[in-house]
Amino acid sequence: MSPGSIRPISIRPAPMGTDPAILVLGIGNLLWADEGFGVRAVEAMQRDWVMSSNVQLLDGGTQGIYLVDRVRTADVLVVFDAVDYGLPPGAMKRVEGDEVPRFLGAKKMSLHQTGFQEVLALAAMLGDYPEHLLLIGVQPVELDDFGGSLRPEVKARIAPAIAMALEYLAQFGVVAQPRSDSSVDTHDLPHPSLALNAYEAGRPAPEVACRIGDERFLASLSGRAIHRGERA
């Protein structure tokens, strides 16, 4: 889906001077295949859309405690992440409000070092919790592929996930226009060498860099392990 094909966003201007601080945060580790979904979603959102200045997009990576302050200062928080919902691989699901921490913590698939659930709890403890919270998660297909990129099923969810975020943000008066120029501000996005295309194109060939997943046994102890299946 190209950005232009997303249905028009309903426009409801916010009252003057009361624009809420909106943070769209992608979390996860882009070096681990579908773990990179959240970061890739904000990257694409910044590339394809122009939004009002009260909307900030941030590649949060696996930074836990560093994100607490950004979360505290947001009135509206939208999080993109790979989430183990126990759904079929590639399934997308939105969760709102108080339900969010549960999904970010119940089956932690990645050590977003200080888990993001904990980031939310720390923000709450300091008395600054976003008034509105939306999690847009995609069930990963593959995590255990170090240096790999998003699988096609997950990559295909980026545009619908962005559409879902924009639809949600419309109620806060956010107007999004498809970007017509190439003047993308990549400030809070991954370094250009890590941008999706460069990252994928530069991956070492299997002949020069081993791609055999290490059969790390430990995940099975804490829930369902996500593997590519049995390996020789």
Partner 1 sequence: MSVVTANGFELDTAGRRLVVDPVTRIEGHLRCEVNLDENNVIRNAVSTGTMWRGLEVILRGRDPRDAWAFTERICGVCTGTHALTSVRAVEDALGIAIPENANSIRNIMQLTLQAHDHLVHFYHLHALDWVDVVSALGADPKATSALAQSISDWPKSSPGYFRDVQNRLKRFVESGQLGPFMNGYWGSPAYKLPPEANLMAVTHYLEALDFQKEIVKIHTVYGGKNPHPNWLVGGMPCAINVDGTGAVGAINMERLNLVSSIIDQTIEFIDKVYIPDLIAIASFYKDWTYGGGLSSQAVMSYGDIPDHANDMSSENLLLPRGAIINGNLNEIHEIDLRNPEEIQEFVDHSWFSYKDETRGLHPWDGVTEPNFVLGPNAVGTRTRIEALDEQAKYSWIKAPRWRGHAMEVGPLARYVIGYAKGIQEFKEPVDKVLTDLGLPLEAIFSTLGRTAARGLEASWAAHKMRYFQDKLVANIKAGDTATANVDNWDPKTWPKQARGVGTTEAPRGALGHWIVIKDGKIDNYQAVVPTTWNGSPRDPAGNIGAFEASLLNTPLAKADEPLEILRTLHSFDPCLACATHIMGPDGEELTRVKVR
By beta-carbon proximity to partner 1, the closer residue of 82 and 166 is: 82
- CA dihedral angle for residue 40, residue 47, residue 15, residue 22, rounded to 10 degrees: 30
Residues 57-116 that bind partner 1 (CB under 8 A): 59-69, 101, 108-114
Distances (CA, A) of 108 to 11, 48, 173: 36, 30, 33
Write the secondary structure of 59-78 as one string of H (helix), E (strand) and C (coil): EEECCCHHHHHHHHCCCEEE
Decide: is 117 part of the binding site for partner 1 (CB under 8 A): yes
Decide: is 224 part of the binding site for partner 1 (CB under 8 A): no
Residues 20-39 that bind partner 1 (CB under 8 A): 29-32, 35
Beta bridge partners of 32: 146, 148
Decide: is 219 part of the binding site for partner 1 (CB under 8 A): yes
Residues ≥6 apart with Cβ < 8 Å to 66: none
By beta-carbon proximity to partner 1, the closer residue of 3 and 36 is: 36
By beta-carbon proximity to partner 1, the closer residue of 12 and 187 is: 187
DSSP state, 32? B
Task: Identify the residue among 106, 200, 204, 224 touching partner 1 (CB under 8 A).
Answer: 204
Task: Identify the residue among 193, 197, 229, 232 touching partner 1 (CB under 8 A).
Answer: 193
Using CB under 8 A, which of the segments 11-19, 132-140, 150-158, 216-224 binds partner 1? 216-224
81 annotated as a binding-site residue = yes
Q: How many residues bind partner 1 (CB under 8 A)?
A: 61
Q: Are 149 and 203 in contact (CB under 8 A)?
A: yes
- Could you tell me the smallest distance in angstroms from the CB atom of residue 61 to partner 1? 6
Helix boundaries (H) for the chain: 37-48, 68-72, 100-105, 116-125, 152-155, 158-170, 196-201
112 annotated as a binding-site residue = yes
Can you count the helices (H) and strands (E) in the chain?
7, 7
Q: Number of C-alpha atoms within 13 angstroms, CB side, residue 140? A: 31
191 annotated as a binding-site residue = no
Q: By CB under 8 A, name the binding residues for partner 1.
A: 29-32, 35, 59-69, 101, 108-114, 117-118, 120-122, 124-127, 143, 146-147, 187-188, 190-191, 193-194, 202-205, 208-212, 214-222, 225
Binding site for Ni(2+): which residues? 35, 81, 112
